[in-house]
A and B are shown apart, each in its own frame.
Chain A
Amino acid sequence: MSASTSRSRMRPMAPHLEIWRWGPAMAVSILHRAAGQAMAFVGIPVFLWFLYALASGTDAWVPFARHAGAWYGQVVLIGLSWAFFEHLTSGLRHFVMDVGAGYELDTNNSWSWAVPAIAIVLTALFWAAIYLR
């Protein structure tokens, strides 16, 4: 216990952890995490419920479909689809940054604003395709 504590004390640490202010890149970064965790902890259970209901027959499907179609179910599904599109666009931004591009301040700021905007547009288009068909 004491050995591991002293070892972790020796690990290097960034010197300015507490000196920062909000910027668009930080907002899109934390949104990426929040959306990912939301899909892991809510999206996967909903997806498994969907598969379980389909595998079990109409008796299991009917309550699933009723909850999914109710207003609160639609809120959850719209929220999950937004989380997906946010995570998708933000993830594509990460792919660009992984190759070392897009770090210029102006470029970085404008894409950090564009990512959540594009995600909202994609979410709206997706649900428009379902509701308006």
Chain B
Amino acid sequence: MGNGTSIGRVRGLGSSKHGAGHWLVQRYTAIGNLILIPWLLISLALLPGYDFPTVHDWAARPLTATLLALICINTFYHARLGVQVFMEDYVHEEGNAFAVKTLLNIVPLAASVFGIICVLRIALSATTGGAA
């Protein structure tokens, strides 16, 4: 580690805050997505039709509902981390950066909870045809 140039003074110190953890969780959640999203796409492609009872019956199965809820957690969190990296790179003005950080700590969590509530309602509704 040098002490002349600014890069020399920080080289080898590692990330300054939570960068390493962020980097790793981005990859752990990516591995989850590697299973969840191909499963979703293949399942949707294999459905015999896209009318309400067919799709609802499929989504209401316990295993399907579990995986859909996992997408709401794992995939949404992966997206949140990715948007954070994107915003950190391109939003420099301090006020905007703070606003973005605030939204990143609210919106993805709200989206996850909303998605999970929807999945629960689907999974726990007794029959096909829908309530409304």
Q: Which residues of A contact B (CB under 8 A)?
A: 4, 10-13, 33, 36-37, 39-41, 44, 47-48, 51-52, 54-62, 65, 68-69, 81, 84, 88, 91, 95, 98, 126, 129-130, 133
Contact = CB atoms under 8 A, between A and B. Distances in A.
* Chain B contact residues: helix, strand, loop or mixed: helix
B52 A61 contact: yes
Interface residues of B, number: 42
Given A48-B114, A48-B118, A54-B118, A84 B130 contact: no
A36 B119 CA distance: 24
Contacts of A54: 52, 55-56, 59, 118, 122
A133 B111 CA distance: 34
B79 to A, nearest CB: 4
19 contacts: A11-B6, A13-B6, A33-B86, A36-B79, A40-B82, A48-B111, A48-B114, A51-B59, A51-B119, A51-B122, A56-B132, A57-B52, A57-B130, A57-B132, A58-B132, A60-B132, A65-B52, A98-B27, A129-B45
A41 B27 CA distance: 20
Nearest to B55: A54
Nearest to A59: B132
* Chain A contact residues: helix, strand, loop or mixed: helix
Contacts of B75: 44
Contacts of A69: 50
Interface of B: 5-7, 9-10, 27, 30, 34, 37-38, 41, 45, 50-52, 55-56, 59, 68, 71-72, 75-76, 79-80, 82-83, 86, 94, 111, 114-115, 117-119, 121-122, 125, 129-132
B79 A56 contact: no
Given A12-B5, A57-B52, 19 more contacts: A10-B6, A12-B7, A33-B86, A37-B86, A39-B79, A40-B79, A44-B75, A44-B79, A51-B118, A54-B56, A55-B119, A57-B132, A58-B129, A60-B132, A61-B52, A65-B50, A81-B41, A84-B37, A126-B45
